A = this chain, B = another copy of it.
Amino acid sequence: MHEKKIAVIGGDKRQKYLADYFSLLGYKTVIFGAKNIPDTASDLTDALSGAYAAVLPFPISPDGVFLNAFCEDCNIRLSFLFSEIDRLSVSRIFGGLVTAPVSAEAEKYGIRIFDYGDVEEVKIKNALCTAEGAVEIALRELPFTLSGSVCCVLGYGRIGRILSLRLRDFGAKVTVFVRRPEIAALVLTDSMNFSYNVPDASVNADLIFNTVPAVLLNEKILPKLKKNCLIIDLASAPGGVDFSEAEKLGINVIWARSLPGKTAPLTAARIIADSVSAELDKS
CB within 8 Å of B: which residues of A?
A: 17, 119-121, 124-125, 127-129, 132-133, 135-136, 139-140, 142-148, 162, 166, 169-171, 181-182, 184-186, 188-191, 263-267, 270, 278
Contact = CB atoms under 8 A, between A and B. Distances in A.
A114 to B, nearest CB: 14
A135 B139 contact: yes
A148 B188 contact: yes
A281 to B, nearest CB: 12
A121 B171 contact: no
A270 B171 CA distance: 17
Contacts of A182: 119-121, 124
A144 B266 contact: yes
Nearest to A136: B139
Contacts of A136: 136, 139-140
B181 A278 contact: yes
A136 to B, nearest CB: 4
Stoichiometry, as copies per complex, reads 4
B169 A121 contact: no
Contacts of A169: 166, 169-170
A264 B143 contact: yes
B171 A191 contact: yes
B135 A189 contact: no
A186 B182 CA distance: 19
Contact of A189 (B125, B139, B144, B186): B125
A279 to B, nearest CB: 11
B144 A267 contact: yes
Contact of A147 (B148, B170, B184, B189): B189
